[in-house]
Amino acid sequence: MSKKIIIIGGGISGISAGIYAQKLGFESEIYEKHSIPGGECTGWDRKGFHIDGCIHWMTGSKDGTYMGGIWREIGALSSDVEIYQPEFFNITEFDGVTVKIYCDLMKLRNHLTEISPEDKAEIDILCDSIGKMKDAGIPNLPPDMMNPLDLLHLIRSMSGSMKVMNKFMMSLSDYVQRFHHPAIKQALLSILPVDNCAYVLPFVLGTICSGNGGRPAGGSRAMAFRMAEKYKAMGGIIHLKKEINEIKVVDGTATGIILADGTTVCADYILPTVDIHVTLDRLLGGKYPNAQINMRDADQATYPAPTCVYAAFGIDADISDGPNELSFQSSPYIFEDSERNIVSFKHYCYEPSFAPAGKSVGIVYLTANYEWWQKKHANINEYNIEKVRLASSLIVALEERFPHLKGKITSLDVATPMTYERYCGAWHGAWMSYSQTPRAKRMMLNGKIKGIKNLFMAGQWLMMPGGLPVAIITGKWAIQRICKNEKMSWRW
């Protein structure tokens, strides 16, 4: 008889693990507390519009790459799924100057140099580094399961990217001071959180400029649904609206799960793919603490977990001829406890199904402070009033920049860190794992918990900085570890 695997969490990592489990002949079932699969790779509908809540660009969208092969193997992408490749990653307007971050490296180099000839030397260093980071990626095999030759190959393949990382080992806010032109500084700051390590910048732009960071048609929710359908077509079972209270551990071995209704379900292996804080603190009752996670949680200045406010708007006009992603200066507005005058706006007109004919949907993204929103949420009336106030302020800013849209912009929704915590079980509302900051130590957990047999974790929290590629690859790695445990072939 085939061994049974219970997968906790129907997000991207859980479905990825399920597909590989089915492929290798295991019997697997996914338990998901939400009403739909996908986890944080999701979207939702409001007033006839669709709001995409995850993918802004996706590493591995290019066919023929290692990650591209994984995405296609698990049904997220296929020859039938169009990949949108914009001309610009984003556009920034600052002090009367427009800076375009081209998705073509040569155009980017020439454009930045034309704006600021005095920054040419630093622009060349940045663009050369972007070129070297084009092929940087995730290891093909779990490092803890590599042999010496595998490790040697990995070290050699990373030599170029490691040199770039060492050169950019500072915060993004410090790095941009190397440039003289204020608009170029602001354009680079609009790409990442300012406390991120600067080497993330050439990595992101390297992915984009290599054509490996496109946007799959249908957006996040549609991609998650494609994966879920592939999993079910392979014989996998997804249980929705099934919350788990506990992982059952008997004599040091994980033997099953206990659902919220008290039902016990047994299995040979338990594979949690939810937020690692949910697994350790709630499902295992805090009995198996992880020192690496605890250390990072206690030092959020060094290991911030990125979270945001995501304000969505319906627009009674077709704005497809405008910039797809635009960062611009506005009149001052209040966000949390501070005054801001920069708005980052994105529209989804390249997705015609996201809005009724002749209309558009757009979002404003704001990096947020979890503790601030947690305190506000303690009084639900104040919390809701604040969301309405913020949406109104942002509409004023958008109408100021786009006067032809005055009276045509309607608030659809304002998602806060509390939204992601409530619906996705995301620790502090984080949409990725710990950010890479200059003082941060790298982390790569092997998914095992000391003292528990037959339990293997997966998900973006196992490896910084998280995200969709880490989610799916750790799902695959978890099944490879189970295969090794079963003395089955795992080198695939």
CATH code at 272? Answer: 3.50.50.60
Among residues 429, 445, 469, which one ends one of the domains? 429
Same domain as 443, residue 389: no
Look at residue 492 and tell me if it is in a domain.
Answer: no
**Could you tell me the two tokens for 55?**
């993918």
Same domain as 168, residue 129: yes
**What's the pLDDT at 287?**
96
Same domain as 93, residue 206: yes
Same domain as 354, residue 464: no
Domain residues for the domain of 108 are: 86-210
**Cα atoms in the Cβ-side hemisphere of radius 13 Å centred on 19:** 27
Same domain as 441, residue 294: yes
- The DSSP secondary structure of 306-364, one letter per residue, reads --EEEEEEEESS--TTS-SEEEEEEEEEEETTEEEEEEEEEE-TT-GGGS-TT-EEEEE
CA pair distance 459, 468, nearest whole angstrom: 9
**What's the pLDDT at 1?**
65
Count the Cβ atoms, other than its own, within 10 Å of residue 176.
Answer: 20
Same domain as 287, residue 142: no
Look at residue 53 and tell me if it is in a domain.
Answer: no
Same domain as 106, residue 166: yes
Among residues 210, 225, 257, which one ends one of the domains? 210
Same domain as 170, residue 285: no
Look at residue 327 and tell me if it is in a domain.
Answer: yes
**What's the pLDDT at 154?**
74
**What's the pLDDT at 137?**
67
Q: Domain tally for the chain? A: 3
Look up the pTM and report it.
0.94
Look at residue 94 and tell me if it is in a domain.
Answer: yes
Look at residue 50 and tell me if it is in a domain.
Answer: no
pLDDT tens digits, one per residue of 203-256 = 999 999 999 999 999 999 999 999 999 999 999 999 999 999 999 999 999 999
Look at residue 51 and tell me if it is in a domain.
Answer: no
**What's the pLDDT at 150?**
79
CA pair distance 427, 461, nearest whole angstrom: 10
Same domain as 481, residue 371: no
Same domain as 286, residue 315: no
Same domain as 236, residue 270: yes
Could you tell me which of 420, 417, 340, 310 has the C-alpha nearest to residue 372? 417
**What's the pLDDT at 222?**
97
Look at residue 490 and tell me if it is in a domain.
Answer: no
**What's the pLDDT at 209?**
94
Among residues 402, 429, 456, which one ends one of the domains? 429
Is residue 280 within 8 Å of 292, Cβ to Cβ? Answer: no
Could you tell me which of 486, 443, 439, 487 has the C-alpha nearest to residue 465? 443
CA pair distance 208, 213, nearest whole angstrom: 5
Look at residue 52 and tell me if it is in a domain.
Answer: no
Q: Which mean pLDDT values do the consecutive 10-residue runs of the chain (492 residues) have?
A: 93 97 97 96 97 93 90 95 95 97 97 98 96 78 83 75 85 96 97 91 93 94 98 98 97 98 97 97 97 95 94 97 95 96 96 96 96 97 98 98 97 97 94 92 92 97 92 96 92 78
**What's the pLDDT at 355?**
98
Same domain as 336, residue 192: no
CA pair distance 13, 80, nearest whole angstrom: 23
